[in-house]
């Protein structure tokens, strides 16, 4: 059905009539101040207009155009049929590390070597799509932490913003504490009891203004559960001048701090050494934090003001054409 969001604007419909009736008419000059060579042609045109030929159509078009303009200003909307949507009431934030170390190519997707962030984008993106009913947000952090996507039911947009994340745009270092502090700031004023943060990082806290454990204590006070995930393989073959050698690309991962953060807030710590590990972790998170369906009926709303606006413009164009035709 069609509804008008600003229906009070229909009170402007009689405005042209009031102007016509209340404003004083322009005074006509009694004397001929100027003689022009084509006076007879103008007088003939005036008499033709005064006789009413074509005037009725012009008035009808003008009135119709004004009605359409008022309809457009009243903001018509098409209200669709009710759609049942599951709402869990959970606020879920993802904090993803995009520091310089995430460029390490020690992960595999379909037997192809990829960097850590690319693997996170694939697996976390699938996780986001499954969380129907959750309000999901996204925090990206490097040397600084910032909110890339506020809490929203629009999972598609949040996933798109994750896919567009680039390594290093927030700095080369890792500010885990600032990411936790930002999550607490965004969630502590939110209503409801189910608040969850999933933190993915491959390093230790090397930047920022707040210590991770201090931020974890604040998260505990805000009743925010934090699940921490350490990213990175433990064995990687590197080519060097002296031949191939095996290194541990995750030597800088601070697992003890990540474990302590999870324990303080009632969450859990996970270790993802390859993409399959991360997929299993997200499957487990689906069980630990299941989507609690509570159906809520929503009606899709589509703005259609451009239809009466287009009709009014067409009528105005016809009025101009007819006036030009009559004057010729």
pLDDT tens digits for range 217-252: 999 999 999 999 999 888 776 666 666 767 777 888
- Helical (H) or strand (E) element with 228: strand 224-231
CA atoms of 240 and 248, how far apart (whole Å): 15
Q: Quick check: pTM over 0.85?
A: no
CA distances (Å), origin 321, targets 56, 224, 225, 315? 15, 67, 69, 10
- Indicate if 306 and 258 belong to the same structural domain: no
Q: Is residue 194 in a domain?
A: yes
In a domain, 273, yes or no: yes
Question: Does one domain contain both 70 and 205?
Answer: no
Same domain (yes/no): 207, 260: yes
Instruction: List all residues 6 or more positions away from 48 whose beta carbon is below 8 Å from its beta carbon.
Output: 326
Q: What is the pLDDT of residues 25-65, one digit of tens each?
A: 656 555 555 554 544 544 554 555 554 555 677 788 888 99
Residues 244, 220 share a domain: yes
> Tokens at residue 43, please?
């007088």
Find the domain containing 76 and state its range.
2-14+42-80+300-327
240 and 276 housed in the same domain: yes
Give dist(CA 106, CA 233) in Å, integer.
Answer: 6
Q: What is the pLDDT of residues 280-298, one digit of tens each?
A: 888 888 777 765 555 555 6
Give 167-222 pLDDT, tens digit per residue.
999 999 999 999 999 999 998 877 766 789 999 999 899 999 999 999 999 999 99
Q: Residue 77, CB half-sphere, CA atoms under 13 Å: how many?
A: 13
Let me know whether 200 and 239 are in one domain: yes
Residue 256 lies inside a defined structural domain of this protein: yes
Q: Which two structure tokens, joined as six digits, stand for 188? A: 């502590």
- Split into its structural domains, the chain has a count of 2
Same domain? 310 vs 236: no
Q: How far apart are the first and last CA of the chain?
A: 45
| Two structure tokens written together for 297 | 């009926």
Is residue 11 classed as helix, strand or coil in its secondary structure?
helix
Q: Are residues 129 and 167 in the same domain?
A: yes
């Amino acid at each position: 059905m069609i509804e008008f969001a600003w229906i009070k604007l229909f009170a402007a419909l009689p405005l042209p009539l009031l102007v016509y009736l209340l404003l004083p008419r322009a005074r006509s000059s009694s004397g001929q101040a100027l003689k022009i060579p084509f006076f007879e042609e103008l007088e003939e045109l005036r008499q033709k207009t005064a006789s009413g030929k074509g005037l009725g159509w012009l008035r009808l078009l003008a009135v119709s155009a004004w009605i359409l303009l008022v309809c457009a200003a009243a903001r018509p909307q098409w209200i669709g049929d009710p759609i049942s949507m599951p709402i869990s009431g959970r606020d879920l934030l993802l904090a993803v590390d995009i520091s310089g170390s995430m460029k390490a190519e020690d992960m595999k997707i379909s037997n192809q070597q990829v960097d850590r962030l690319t693997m996170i984008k694939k697996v976390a993106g699938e996780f986001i799509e499954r969380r129907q009913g959750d309000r999901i947000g996204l925090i990206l952090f490097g040397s600084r932490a910032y909110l890339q996507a506020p809490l929203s039911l629009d999972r598609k947009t949040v996933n798109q913003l994750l896919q567009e994340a680039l390594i290093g745009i927030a700095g080369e270092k890792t500010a885990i504490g600032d990411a936790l502090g930002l999550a607490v700031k965004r969630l502590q004023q939110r209503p409801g009891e189910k608040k969850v943060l999933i933190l993915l990082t491959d390093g230790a806290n090397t930047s920022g203004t707040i210590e991770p454990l201090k931020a974890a204590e604040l998260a505990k006070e805000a009743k925010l559960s934090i699940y921490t995930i350490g990213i990175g393989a433990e064995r990687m073959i590197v080519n060097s001048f002296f031949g191939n050698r095996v290194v541990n690309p995750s030597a800088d991962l601070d697992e003890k701090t990540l474990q302590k953060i999870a324990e303080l807030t009632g969450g859990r710590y996970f270790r993802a050494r390859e993409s399959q590990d991360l997929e299993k972790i997200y499957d487990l998170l689906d069980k630990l934090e299941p989507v609690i369906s509570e159906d809520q009926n929503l009606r899709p709303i589509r703005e259609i003001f451009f239809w009466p606006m287009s009709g009014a413009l067409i009528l105005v164009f016809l009025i101009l054409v007819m006036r030009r035709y009559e004057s010729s």
